[in-house]
Amino acid sequence: MKNVFVGMSGGVDSSVTAALLKQAGYDVTGVYMKNWTRDIGGVECPWRKDLTDARSVAALLDIPFEVFDFETEYRELVVQYMIDEYRAGRTPNPDIACNQEVKFKLFLDAALARGADMIATGHYARTEKGRLFTAADEGKDQTYFLYRVESEALSKSLFPLGDYQKSEIRSLAKEFGLSTADKPDSQGICFVGEVDIKDFLSEYIETKPGPIKHVDGRILGEHEGAEYYTIGQRHGLGVGGALRDDSGSGLPLYVVSKDMSENTIFVSEDLAALMNDEVSIDQLHWINEAPEIGEEFLVRSRHRGRLTPAVVTSSSGDTMRLKLEQPERALTAGQSLVLYQKESETTEVVGGGIITQ
């Protein structure tokens, strides 16, 4: 039977993953990836608790347990990437970078070197012969975060939770007697914890206040640093009531663009300013075959976002442009656009790229 190293984060999903694989007869080794241990903004990093929980589950399951220390690499490949992107005025997705660089490269390579035949994680996704498919639980599907994983890595990966509903996983955890059965799902930055993004960025980026301007040029207020704000953002601008309708009620304002060279963010009350039916992407990554001009796909511009029909209108080198059947709101530079191909029974992840507009 194959030897599988399971990435155990200390959460219920990865705990059940290990239990299911052992039940299926695999030789299972649990591995905690120590990627981040620093407290930020007065918020304690949960790594000690997570490590304890993962070790406890491994002991209950009577499987070997190891700790792989990737903290230096995580800082260089994920955290520095985040910092550079925010500094440039874009909004990155650290979970995608972590999967691409850490879980399905560093962890996979280290596991194979230690004698593993395959690795497994608690992602809600399905894979077969180096291809990636959406999970049975559409509400929990995590393929958006996995689109940059290489086909070769997918061929050596298992996602046991892909055929389950999340509610079933909690029940299974209780049946297995796992201590993580009622543990809340993790939130916030991947491995860092529930840290306010301003607190996190302030540790690494020197920001300065600047004007908040209406798209017509009027100055409505002052921001704390253009790096902190993202396209489509409404709350936390501090300009509530700056514009009012005929009845005197304050109008909601949304960030519609940023000028990093002038340290200025622009807002509008017009939601139409955030809608776009065309999108350009670069840093393309295709799991298997690359799309061709004229091909139609379903695309998703954010995790749990709707799947929107789109057609490839141009492709040159490492860039691609698509026309959407319906306008999407707040297509944000730095975020990912993921392409899906739907067949009668399955929905396959084709790949995607980073939004440039």
Most confident segment among 185-199, 230-244, 252-266: 252-266
Residue 76 within any structural domain of the chain: yes
Asked whether the predicted pLDDT for residue 86 surpasses 70, the reply is yes
In a domain, 147, yes or no: yes
Does one domain contain both 260 and 289? no
- Assess whether 244 and 278 both reside in one domain: no
45 is catalytic: no
User: Global pTM?
Assistant: 0.94
Could you say which of 234, 269, 304 is where a domain stops?
A: 269
Residue owning tokens 């070769």: 152
Q: CB burial class (10 A; 0-12, 13-18, 19+) of residue 175? A: exposed
Lowest mean pLDDT among 70-84, 161-175, 193-207, 210-224: 193-207
DSSP label of 249: P
Per the domain annotation, does 313 fall within a domain? yes
One of 190, 192, 330, 339 is an active-site residue; which one? Answer: 190
What pairs with residue 297 in β-bridges?
310
User: Domain ends where: 225, 242, 269?
Assistant: 269
Contact 77, 92 (CB under 8 A): no
259 with 323, same domain: the answer is no
> Of 134, 159, 189, which one is at a domain's C-terminal end?
189
What Rg, from alpha-carbon coordinates, does the chain have? 22
The CATH number of whichever domain residue 98 belongs to comes to 3.40.50.620
**Residue 20 and residue 160 in one domain:** yes
Mention every residue, 6+ apart, whose C-beta is less than 8 A from residue 86: 92, 201, 205, 227
Domain-located, residue 202:
no
pLDDT tens for each residue of 113-156: 999 999 999 999 999 999 999 999 999 999 999 999 999 999 99
Q: Is 190 a catalytic residue?
A: yes
Q: Is residue 299 part of a domain?
A: yes
Query: Which position among 98, 110, 231, 237 bears the catalytic label?
Result: 98
Alpha-carbon distance 335 to 304, whole Å? 13
Give the pLDDT mean for 306-325. Answer: 96
